């Protein structure tokens, strides 16, 4: 029997990268999954420079991998910026699977552009989309999930995916990095306030703070071109341990610890998975 046998976990940004890894990792420990992702239902250029967002096929592949583990996976296309759509997705998932015990608020973007936007309207677009997805979208996720968790009466666990940039911050005269850092810092405040508010219901809330993770958000031609243009980025993001990036599964292991009984008395904590980045 797994650590999460027959629990139900909601994961946003589940189509690929860390979200897919979390879905598979939690399913391997016995959880059923509600997998949500925006897929390609919104213009790529408005949110993420020009790198390709996940597709419906990616989300279906996540479901296939979960179902191979003999766990159920309900998939929904929804934008975390759209509270009503997200609410409907979560409601449908809970209706199908009967409960909600775990939330991985993982959806996020890094809206990098090779050529730095200079027009005020362009810069505002990057700022607004980054804050709306990376911060407000997490708040929406908590807002629509918590009533189901309270109604279940079993407590539960919420893990917010922040970043090392939510504890340290970095800057490169770049609106994408500035807005990303601001949003990820905001998640720490949201996590702590939510941990206080939800403790009477035995719902634990924590955040994880990865260093660079090898996912499509950074493993793409746009980011590669950006890194080539800004060679000091390697120094800004350098880890203490001799690894450039970690794997998605390294973050999944931290999520699993926090949502299982191994972390049953941990709440209000900001857990780095950073290869020493914050110490260096």
Full domain range(s) for residue 81: 8-273
Determine, yes or no, domain membership for 195. Answer: yes
pLDDT of the residue at 229 = 80
Determine, yes or no, domain membership for 1. Answer: no
Give the mean model confidence (pLDDT) for residues 12-19.
97
pLDDT of the residue at 222 = 79
pLDDT of the residue at 45 = 46
Give the mean model confidence (pLDDT) for residues 123-142.
96
180 tagged catalytic: yes
Number of domains in the chain: 1
Determine, yes or no, domain membership for 3. Answer: no
List 180, 226, 265, 277, catalytic entry: 180
Determine, yes or no, domain membership for 142. Answer: yes
41 pLDDT higher than 70: no
Give the mean model confidence (pLDDT) for residues 85-112.
96
Determine, yes or no, domain membership for 253. Answer: yes
| Other CB atoms within 10 Å distance of the CB of residue 189 | 11
Per-residue confidence band for 49, with pLDDT thresholds at 50, 70 and 90:
low
Determine, yes or no, domain membership for 261. Answer: yes
Determine, yes or no, domain membership for 95. Answer: yes
DSSP 189-221: HHHHHHHHHHGGGTEEEEEEEES-B-STTTSSH
Q: How far apart are the first and last CA of the chain?
A: 40
44 pLDDT higher than 60: no
CA atoms within 13 A on the CB side of 235: 5
Q: Please give the mean pLDDT across all residues of the chain.
A: 92
The 8-class DSSP code of residue 261 comes to G
Query: For the chain, how long is the longest CA-to-CA vector?
Result: 56
Q: What is the Cα–Cα distance from 13 to 76, expressed in whole angstroms?
A: 11
Cβ-contact 62, 35 below 8 angstroms: yes
pLDDT of the residue at 195 = 98
Kindly report the length of the chain.
280
151 pLDDT higher than 60: yes
Per-residue confidence band for 114, with pLDDT thresholds at 50, 70 and 90:
confident
DSSP 82-134: -HHHHHHHHHHHHHHHS---EEEE--------SSPP-SHHHHHHHHHHHHIII
pLDDT of the residue at 46 = 45
CA geometry: angle 270, 251, 147, nearest 5 deg:
65
Determine, yes or no, domain membership for 280. Answer: no
Q: What is the tens place of the pLDDT at every residue in 188-223? A: 999 999 999 999 999 999 999 999 999 888 877 877
What CATH number does the domain containing 269 carry?
3.40.50.720
Q: What is the Cα–Cα distance from 159 to 111, expressed in whole angstroms?
A: 23
Q: What is the Cα–Cα distance from 110 to 129, expressed in whole angstroms?
A: 10
pLDDT of the residue at 51 = 64
pLDDT of the residue at 50 = 56
Q: What is the tens place of the pLDDT at every residue in 154-167? A: 999 999 999 999 99
Give CA torsion, residues 251, 130, 118, 222, to 10 deg.
Answer: 40
Per-residue confidence band for 243, with pLDDT thresholds at 50, 70 and 90:
very high
């Amino acid at each position: 029997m797994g650590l999460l046998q027959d629990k139900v976990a909601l994961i946003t940004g589940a189509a690929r990268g860390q979200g897919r890894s979390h879905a598979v990792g939690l399913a391997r420990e016995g959880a059923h999954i509600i997998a949500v992702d925006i897929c390609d239902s919104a213009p790529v250029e408005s949110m993420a420079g020009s790198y390709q967002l996940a597709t419906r096929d990616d989300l279906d592949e996540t479901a296939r991998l979960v179902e191979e583990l003999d766990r159920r996976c309900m998939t929904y296309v929804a934008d975390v910026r759209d509270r009503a759509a997200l609410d409907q997705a979560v409601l449908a998932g809970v209706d199908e699977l009967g409960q909600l015990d775990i939330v991985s608020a993982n959806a996020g973007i890094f809206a990098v552009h090779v050529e730095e936007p200079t027009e005020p309207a362009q810069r505002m677009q990057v700022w607004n989309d980054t804050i709306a997805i990376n911060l407000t979208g997490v708040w929406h996720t908590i807002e629509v999930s918590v009533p189901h968790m309270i109604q279940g009466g079993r407590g539960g666990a919420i893990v917010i995916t922040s970043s090392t940039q939510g504890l340290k911050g970095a800057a490169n005269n770049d609106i994408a990095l500035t807005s990303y850092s601001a949003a990820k810092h905001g998640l720490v405040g949201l996590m702590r306030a939510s941990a206080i508010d939800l403790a009477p219901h035995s719902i634990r809330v924590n955040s994880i703070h990865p260093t660079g993770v090898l996912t499509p958000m950074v493993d793409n031609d746009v980011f590669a071109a950006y890194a080539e243009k800004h060679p000091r980025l390697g120094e800004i993001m350098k880890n203490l341990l001799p690894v450039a990036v970690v794997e998605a599964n390294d973050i999944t292991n931290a999520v699993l610890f926090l949502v299982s009984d191994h972390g049953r008395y941990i709440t209000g904590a900001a857990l780095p998975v950073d290869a020493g980045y914050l110490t260096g």
